[in-house]
Amino acid sequence: MPEAPDLEAIRAFLAPRICGAPIASAEVRVPIVARFSKEALAAELRGACVQAIERRGKFLLFGLSTGRMLVINPMLTGRFQYVSPAERPQAKTCAVVTFAHGCQLRYVDANLMGKLYLVDEAGLGAVPQFAEMGPDVLDPALTEAVFCARLRRHPGMLKNVLTNQAFVAGIGNAYADEILFVAGLHPHRRRSQLSAAEQQGLFRAVGAVMSWALPIVAAQMQAGLSYDEWRAHLRVHGKGGQPCPACGGPISEITAGKRTTNYCRRCQPRF
């Protein structure tokens, strides 16, 4: 699942390459992901250009010269490619934008979970999940006081709270594990069990993990925007059974539904 570090790196990679470049054509190849007609994308984008790219939470917003926005919520399995038109398309390539300079931006979604929207800026609130988002995880306005005040509204388990986009937007399954590891908090601890010091420590862990991850993912992106996720650098997520980088004990893994949680039982005690 693309999270704030991934999408921020994608935004930064794409902006200098496509902003201001005339669009030669646009095509929806898998209509189920688009909340508009196939013809609408081609008509809106052909001859236009992307003026700016923003990230808000787990959404990418492509501001068009027509005054509208192409909004993409990649959900769990959406990925982006920036490639030559000669490169063979991945299976489930859902949408393709071809630029006059000869490169393509492709949206690929193996499970067809993501969604694309064409809206005016005033219509962003009608995009599902957009209006309900809390402050972005990288927003400077998300101070410790704001974070802790919002945290007190959510009494559930910490992993669920961190991945709730209505609490703070941009954190997903992988980085929630990393944040809780740095904070030394068990993912199944309940927010109501946290002391004031632990709440403050959780806020600091969010900032520390984002500051650590952003340049790593951006550096990995320099080779090009590919289909892959960037997860090798993570310390506990996806590392079940491997040694904890702090204490050397085995990293635990719990799978519930389709979500995997990893943590260290020694460094993140339940009680």
49, 70 contact by CB (below 8 A): no
Look up the pTM and report it: 0.94
Of the candidates 35, 38, 190, 259, the residue annotated as catalytic is 259
Domain residue ranges in the chain = 4-126, 144-264
Q: Which residues of 73-91 are buried (b: 16+ CB within 10 A; e: fewer)?
A: bbbebbbbbbbeeeeeeee
In the chain, % of residues over pLDDT 70: 99
Q: What is the mean pLDDT of residues 208-223?
A: 92
> Catalytic: 46?
no
Distance (Å, rounded) from C-alpha 95 to C-alpha 203?
A: 37
Options 1.10.3720.10, 1.10.8.50, 3.30.70.270, 3.40.30.10; CATH for 144-264 is: 1.10.8.50
Strand intervals (E) in the chain: 23-28, 50-56, 59-64, 68-73, 78-83, 93-99, 104-109, 115-120, 251-256, 259-264
pLDDT, mean over the chain: 94
Q: What is the mean pLDDT of residues 143-165?
A: 95
What's the confidence (pLDDT) of residue 9? Answer: 94
Q: What is the mean pLDDT of residues 235-264?
A: 94
228, 241 contact by CB (below 8 A): no
- Three-state DSSP class for residue 131: coil
What's the confidence (pLDDT) of residue 231? Answer: 87
Q: Is 90 exceeded by the pLDDT of residue 38?
A: no
Q: What is the mean pLDDT of residues 11-32?
A: 96
Of the candidates 56, 58, 106, 115, the residue annotated as catalytic is 58
Q: What is the pLDDT of residues 87-120, one digit of tens each?
A: 999 999 999 999 999 999 999 999 999 999 999 9
Band of residue 261 on the pLDDT scale cut at 50, 70, 90? very high
Element (H, E) at 182: helix 173-183
Q: What is the DSSP string of 26-39?
A: EEESSGGGBSS-HH
Of the candidates 2, 5, 74, 187, the residue annotated as catalytic is 2
Q: What is the pLDDT of residues 67-92, one digit of tens each?
A: 999 999 999 899 999 999 999 999 99
What's the confidence (pLDDT) of residue 35? Answer: 93
Distance (Å, rounded) from C-alpha 177 to C-alpha 156?
A: 16
Band of residue 212 on the pLDDT scale cut at 50, 70, 90? very high
> Catalytic: 92?
no
* Residue type at position 210: M
Hey, what CATH topology would domain 4-126 get? Answer: N-terminal domain of MutM-like DNA repair proteins (3.20.190)
Band of residue 122 on the pLDDT scale cut at 50, 70, 90? confident
Judge if 4-126 and 144-264 fold alike in CATH terms: no
> Catalytic: 44?
no
Q: Is 80 exceeded by the pLDDT of residue 257?
A: no
Q: Is 80 exceeded by the pLDDT of residue 149?
A: yes
* Residue type at position 52: A
What's the confidence (pLDDT) of residue 10? Answer: 94
Burial class of residue 24 in the structure, from the number of CB atoms within 10 Å of its CB (0-12 exposed, 13-18 middle, 19+ buried): middle
Band of residue 144 on the pLDDT scale cut at 50, 70, 90? very high
* Residue type at position 261: T
What's the confidence (pLDDT) of residue 119? Answer: 95
Tell me which residue of 209, 270, 198 sits closest to 236, measured CA to CA: 209
What's the confidence (pLDDT) of residue 206? Answer: 98
* Residue type at position 84: S
> Catalytic: 258?
no
Of the candidates 3, 5, 106, 178, the residue annotated as catalytic is 3
